Amino acid sequence: MSTPGVIAGNEVDRAQAAIDAAEIDLDIARDALADRTIRAPFSGHVGLTDIDPGARIGPDTIITRLDDREVLFVDFPVPEQTFGKIEQGDVFQVEPFSDPDSTYEAEVLTLDSSIDATTRAYTVRTAIDNENDELRPGMSFRIGFDLPGSSYPAVPEESIVWGGDGAFVWAVRDGEARRVGVTIVSRKEGRVLVKGDLPEGSWIVEEGVQKVRQGAPIELPARSGNAAPVASGATPGTPGGTAAAQP
């Protein structure tokens, strides 16, 4: 005969064992849920994804893109002639190509430590305050600034000839080819800024330069495919300022 309100000791043990087992199952479920939860390493804006619910993913699976858009970094090249004239903390005015009427301030954060041997330029990294979230990563900007510098003639890259004493071009003077030594200042998109005795409006040989000899007669029609006038000099302080010459 059992007394009301009294539980046998073995019943208590079974109940405690059931509680312990339930707590273990709960811990296992929590761990499983944690393994299926993706937490962003920082606050930002989530982009599109190609992952469907229930898809199996691994550590190398790209789920989506996460952007912190409060500050945008803009890198741009400038000619080496400006080295030492741009400093950390300088502010430039930039215009997004998507909205040329808008202007933003870009503060210089750092400068590259070396000059590119091919382009003769170095990279400047700037930051734009995007607290209002009006800009997006990957946008293109037009950056303009004025720095004192020299002007150089711009010539087609294929007109440069290399000899034992360095680079030169064939200038057309008095109807004859004249060798003019040049020093390459900068290269950009098939055009080369050079230092040499090439007044603006001079004609140079652009094609077949390897066959030209000093004093060879050169005929200049009104428009020629084998010769091109020297473009007007571009100010080194203006990125992308190389003028395009037309024959």
* Residue 229: CATH number of its domain: 2.40.420.20
Q: How many residues does the chain have?
A: 247
Strand order, beta sheet including 141-144: 71-79, 121-129, 104-111, 91-96, 141-144
- Domain span at residue 109 reads 66-144
Share above pLDDT 70 across residues of the chain, in percent, rounded to a whole number: 83
Q: Please say if the pLDDT value at position 225 is more than 80.
A: no
The CATH number covering residue 78 comes to: 2.40.30.170
Same structural domain, 110 and 158:
no
Contact 93, 71 (CB under 8 A): no
Same structural domain, 156 and 140:
no
Q: What is the pLDDT of residues 121-169, one digit of tens each?
A: 899 999 999 988 999 998 999 887 666 567 788 899 999 999 888 999 9
Tracing tokens 């990125």 back to the chain, one arrives at 239
230 Cβ contact partners less than 8 Å away, ≥ 6 residues apart: 153, 154, 155, 198, 199, 200, 201, 202, 203, 204, 245
Domain count, the chain: 2
Q: What angle do CA 156, 162, 168 make, to 5 degrees?
A: 60
Same structural domain, 125 and 165:
no
Q: What is the pLDDT of residues 24-49, one digit of tens each?
A: 989 898 888 777 777 888 888 888 88
- State how far the Cα of 142 lies from the Cα of 119, in Å rounded to an integer: 19
Task: Specify which of 51-55, 176-180, 200-204 reaches the highest per-range mean pLDDT.
Answer: 176-180
- pTM of the shown model: 0.49
3-state SS class at 121: strand
